[in-house]
Amino acid sequence: MDQLIIPKNYHSELDLHDTQIAIKTVKDFFQNLLSLRLNLQRVSAPLFVDPESGLNDNLNGVERPVTFGIKEQNEKPAEIVHSLAKWKRYALKKYGFSMGEGLYTDMNAIRRDEDTDNTHSIFVDQWDWEKIISKKDRNLDYLKETVRTVYKVLRKTEKYMAIQYDYIEEILPHDIFFVTTQELEDMFPDYTPKEREYYITQAKGAVCILQIGDTLESGEPHDGRAPDYDDWTLNADIVVYYPLLDIALELSSMGIRVDKKALLSQLDKAGCPERAELPFQKAVIKEELPYTIGGGIGQSRICMFFLRKAHIGEVQSSLWPEDVVKEAEANGIQLL
């Protein structure tokens, strides 16, 4: 119950029926513009993968994937994906994509160990995207250029929704502010990483936080990041200030993907060098996969933000603690 934020005098401007229409409006506009601006084609993607393939996202390394046995394959285990961060790079090669082309897909996942609150659910739905780049594009300038492109799509989506619905006002600033995790720690040395994100987004409105995963000068990382997809020196989160809940809200995570050098270094830092023997990781080390940039953009997160909802459960169907369900209903929060 402590995790539930209830805005004062909150009520949804849209009933359940009209909310469903608005969700489709947001998603259709955003994904169409994103695919156009980044040159992405939609593809089909797996809901589950072979654990031995190394394709699943290990997140922070402690979250348990949902597993099941396949009857006709002698109960061979399969894992529900946590995300498609690694699968996408493999798919770009398999599907025959060329330099400068990319893919996007609807990714659905179950994160059974998630701590739920207004913005977190055990059900994760996002647009996962990935694009082939050249080796020379593995640099900070290219990453920032891509971040700005994604942010412009977010701004145009907000502008479009403000035209469609009178109650929605534009709150995103014109430009996104870039800051590294070490710069954030230097600015706010006495605060936790999440508190730093809150204060910087409250001040700037929209922030791109760079270089997530490696250890900072304090001896602690800003946040966890799996060691085998993003290059920790070339990744980024887009975080915005959400005044309805008075929080920093992460909308997107992205990064230039590891090459051989970054992968081996990060596996060693993360204490899991044995993962270098898995098929996907071997393919990176042998340089059999293309250089890529990619990320995930939360579908329910952006719907919640653009429709000015107080809880992610107002735009997606999931399961919540019973006390949260009762408290939400008593305070005008309509969980699906």
Q: For the residues of 214-274, what is the DSSP string, one character each?
A: SB-TTSSBSS---TTSEEEEEEEEEEEEETTTTEEEEEEEEEEEP-HHHHHHHHHHTT-GG
Q: Which of 250, 281, 300, 318 is catalytic?
A: 250
Percent of the chain clearing pLDDT 90 (strictly above): 67
Query: Residue 106: beta bridge partners?
Result: 127
Annotated active-site residue 126? The verdict is: yes
What lies within 8 Å, CB to CB, of 91 at 6+ separation is: 43, 45, 103, 130
What type of residue sits at position 304?
A: M
Q: Which of 250, 299, 314 is nearest to 31 (CA)?
A: 299
Q: Which of 35, 79, 83, 111 is catalytic?
A: 111
pTM for this one? 0.90
Nearest-angstrom CA–CA distance, 274 and 287? 18
Annotated active-site residue 250? The verdict is: yes
Query: What's the pLDDT score for residue 16?
Result: 92
Nearest-angstrom CA–CA distance, 88 and 101? 12
Q: Which of 126, 252, 300, 318 is catalytic?
A: 126
Mean of per-residue pLDDT scores for the chain:
92
Q: Which of 138, 237, 252, 314 is catalytic?
A: 237
Annotated active-site residue 57? The verdict is: yes
Nearest-angstrom CA–CA distance, 255 and 257? 6
Query: What's the pLDDT score for residue 81?
Result: 85
Residue 199's φ and ψ, nearest 5 degrees, are -70, -35
Element (H, E) at 107: strand 102-110
Annotated active-site residue 237? The verdict is: yes
Please check the confidence at residue 12 and state whether its pLDDT lies above 70.
yes
What lies within 8 Å, CB to CB, of 35 at 6+ separation is: 41, 42, 104
CB distance 113 to 154 below 8 Å: no
| pLDDT (mean) for 264-272 | 91
Nearest-angstrom CA–CA distance, 61 and 81? 14
Element (H, E) at 295: strand 292-298
Please check the confidence at residue 2 and state whether its pLDDT lies above 60.
no
Query: What's the pLDDT score for residue 183?
Result: 95
User: What one-character-per-residue DSSP string does 13-82 give?
Assistant: SS-HHHHHHHHHHHHHHHHHHHHHHHTEEE----SEE-GGGT-S--TTS-PPPPEEEEGGGTTEEEEE-S
Higher pLDDT, 336 or 210: 210
Query: What's the pLDDT score for residue 1?
Result: 42
pLDDT in tens, 273-318: 998 998 888 999 999 999 999 999 999 999 999 999 999 999 999 9
CB distance 129 to 102 below 8 Å: yes
| pLDDT (mean) for 5-22 | 92
Query: What's the pLDDT score for residue 86?
Result: 81
pLDDT in tens, 27-71: 999 999 999 999 999 999 899 988 888 777 766 667 788 889 999
Q: Which of 35, 253, 281, 316 is catalytic?
A: 253
pLDDT in tens, 117-148: 999 999 999 999 999 999 999 999 999 999 99
pLDDT in tens, 147-182: 999 999 999 999 999 999 999 999 999 999 999 999
Helix (DSSP H) and strand (DSSP E) numbers for the chain: 9, 11
